[in-house]
């Protein structure tokens, strides 16, 4: 059994082509002057369009080929080929996002971004606006901070913002791990344990994927597993991938992970190929689960079908029509994968 998808162009411009979609367009056409190197009507380009948040632009060529440009507030955009995706049974692997999908923690990390911006401004009363939410979740720390710098404190440096961010992070994480701090910082998503055990029973490989740095991500999932009495997550998951370690002068040697996380495809592609040993030819037997627009794009650009999880910013970002399915709880996803 398999669930087919319409063309990506149709999905982004007419959501009713997809089961569970909105029934209306959640993207907008571009004329090629928004940073893209391509313009409609030139060099075989038939259409240039993007979801509402503008994080990814899709370029369609005569004959139906599509490329995606992942934009970057840090200055290094990239283009990727877009492959048709579908869900084919049996499902061999499920790749799961961490923040907002497996663990409810987005509010905590958005709060840290807010504290950092307040520190940059020297204004303790500062608070983010609701329109900022899709720009300060789902991407990398540097992308989040650069967005806030551009909007609220132009002229401030990303280096200074990162220094303040990690000061706040280390203080708050220490408080949490010692039993103080925000009590509700990291909470397992309802139904997570049962869903994971169903996947294990069906011998489906499980990968955990996050754009979060290691020092952020591991305390989250460890905390969640402790609450669920599930032991060590490193032993449970078949593969875990994070954005690595931060680059900080005089302290640590950094790892590559700040400029090419979600919505770039590399985290999902690497956990599938390197972590789980699955080849590109297996991609239609791999399903990703995400609650953020950046994560949805990351999964699709890696060549996998995406099941969107309600509660994040998929609707606000305009990426719901990129999801093969859209669910509100893990029980629904378990039924899809049977």
**One domain for residues 299 and 205:** yes
Q: Which residue has the higher pLDDT, 195 or 318?
A: 195
**pLDDT tens per residue, range 298-315:** 999 999 999 999 999 999
**One domain for residues 280 and 295:** yes
Domain for residue 169, yes or no? yes
**One domain for residues 199 and 323:** yes
Domain carrying residue 166: 106-177
**One domain for residues 144 and 269:** no
Domain for residue 91, yes or no? yes
The rounded percent of the chain whose pLDDT value lies above 90 is: 61
**One domain for residues 57 and 148:** no
Average pLDDT of the residues in 129-146: 87
Domain for residue 13, yes or no? yes
**One domain for residues 251 and 279:** yes
Question: Among 19-33, 94-108, 181-195, whose mean pLDDT is lowest?
Answer: 19-33
Q: Which residues of 241-274 are buried (b: 16+ CB within 10 A; e: fewer)?
A: bbbbbbeeeeeeeeeebbebbbbbbbbbbbbbee
Helix axes 106-121, 141-152, angle to 10 degrees: 40
Average pLDDT of the residues in 46-58: 89
User: Rounded mean pLDDT of the chain?
Assistant: 87
Q: Are strands 66-70 and 56-61 parallel, antiparallel or unpaired?
A: antiparallel
Question: Among 20-29, 125-134, 265-274, 301-310, whose mean pLDDT is lowest?
Answer: 20-29
Give me the pLDDT at residue 36, please: 65
Domain for residue 183, yes or no? no
Domain for residue 296, yes or no? yes
CATH number reported for the structural domain that contains residue 226 in this entry: 3.40.50.1000
What three-state secondary structure class fits 337? Answer: helix
Question: Among 68-77, 97-106, 217-226, 326-335, whose mean pLDDT is lowest?
Answer: 68-77
Domain for residue 129, yes or no? yes
Give me the pLDDT at residue 74, please: 74
**One domain for residues 202 and 304:** yes
**One domain for residues 234 and 92:** yes
Q: Is the pLDDT of residue 35 over 80?
A: no
Question: Among 85-94, 99-108, 196-205, 265-274, whose mean pLDDT is lowest?
Answer: 99-108
d(C-alpha 313, C-alpha 298), whole Å: 14
Give me the pLDDT at residue 133, please: 86
Give me the pLDDT at residue 262, please: 92
The rounded percent of the chain whose pLDDT value lies above 70 is: 89
Domain for residue 182, yes or no? no
Domain for residue 68, yes or no? yes
d(C-alpha 290, C-alpha 325), whole Å: 11
**One domain for residues 255 and 242:** yes
Task: Pull the structure tokens for residue 234.
Answer: 């490193």
Q: How far is CA 335 from the centre of its chain?
A: 23
pTM of the entire predicted model: 0.83
When divided into structural domains, the chain yields a total of: 3
Burial of 22 (0-12, 13-18, 19+ CB in 10 A): middle
**One domain for residues 243 and 94:** yes
Whether a cis peptide bond, with omega within 30° of 0, leads into 263 is yes
**One domain for residues 158 and 218:** no
Residue 16: CB atoms within 10 Å: 14
Q: Is the pLDDT of residue 16 over 80?
A: no
């Amino acid at each position: 059994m398999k669930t087919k998808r319409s063309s990506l162009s149709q999905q982004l411009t007419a959501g009713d082509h997809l089961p569970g979609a909105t029934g209306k367009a959640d993207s907008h056409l571009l004329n090629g002057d928004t940073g893209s190197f391509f313009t409609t009507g030139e060099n075989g380009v038939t259409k240039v369009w993007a979801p509402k948040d503008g994080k990814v632009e899709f370029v369609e060529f005569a004959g139906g080929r599509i490329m995606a440009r992942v934009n970057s507030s840090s200055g290094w955009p990239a283009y990727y080929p877009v492959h048709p995706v579908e869900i084919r049974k049996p499902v061999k692997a499920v790749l799961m996002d961490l923040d907002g999908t497996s663990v409810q923690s987005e509010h905590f990390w958005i709060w840290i971004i807010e504290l950092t911006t307040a520190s940059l401004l020297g204004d303790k009363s500062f608070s983010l606006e609701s329109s900022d939410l899709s720009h300060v979740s789902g991407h990398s720390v540097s992308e989040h901070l650069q967005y806030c710098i551009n909007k609220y404190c132009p002229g401030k440096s990303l280096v200074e913002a990162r220094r303040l961010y990690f000061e706040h992070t280390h203080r708050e994480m220490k408080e949490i791990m010692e039993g103080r701090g925000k009590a509700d910082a990291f909470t397992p998503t309802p139904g997570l344990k049962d869903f994971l055990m169903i996947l294990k029973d069906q011998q489906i490989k499980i990968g955990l994927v996050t754009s979060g740095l290691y020092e952020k991500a591991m305390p989250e999932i460890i905390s969640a597993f402790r609450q669920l009495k599930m032991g060590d997550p490193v032993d449970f998951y078949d593969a875990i991938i994070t954005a690595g370690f931060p680059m900080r002068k005089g302290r640590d040697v950094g790892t590559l992970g700040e400029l090419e996380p979600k919505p770039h495809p590399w985290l999902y592609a690497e956990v599938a190929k390197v972590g789980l040993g699955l080849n590109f030819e297996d991609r239609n037997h791999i399903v990703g689960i995400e609650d953020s627009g950046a994560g949805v794009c990351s999964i699709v650009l890696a060549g996998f079908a995406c099941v969107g999880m309600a509660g994040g910013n998929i609707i606000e970002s305009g990426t719901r029509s990129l999801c093969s399915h859209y669910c509100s709880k893990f029980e629904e996803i378990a039924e899809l994968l049977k």
